[in-house]
């Protein structure tokens, strides 16, 4: 349980600082390309985040971007 809270907090803090600076994308097509670039998984390491959550077989997760 402590690990889950730690992971959530680590993911939440950058989101808070980014939210203050957030503005809509000037070029929607360019923004989508940034979000779908192949290197994004290498940077964000979603597989490692999911493993760190130690989910039980019947638990469900969602990416709420």
DSSP 31-47: HHHHHT-TTHHHHH-HH
DSSP 11: H
Under the banding of pLDDT at 50, 70 and 90, the label for residue 55 is: very high
Average per-residue pLDDT for the chain: 81
**Rounded Cα gap, residues 34 and 26, in angstroms:** 13
pLDDT per residue as tens digits for the range 18-42: 555 666 778 899 989 988 998 988 9
Question: Considering the entire predicted model, what is its pTM?
Answer: 0.47
State residue 19's pLDDT score.
52
Q: Which of 64, 60, 48 is nearest to 12 (CA)?
A: 64
- Do the Cβ atoms of 54 and 3 come closer than 8 Å? yes
Q: Where are the domains of the chain?
A: 2-52
């Amino acid at each position: 349980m402590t690990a889950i809270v730690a992971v959530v907090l680590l993911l939440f803090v950058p989101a808070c600082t980014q939210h203050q600076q957030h503005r809509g994308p000037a070029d929607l097509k360019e923004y989508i390309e940034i979000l779908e670039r192949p290197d994004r998984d290498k940077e964000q390491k979603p597989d490692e985040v999911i493993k760190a959550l130690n989910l039980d077989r019947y638990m469900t997760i969602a990416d709420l971007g």
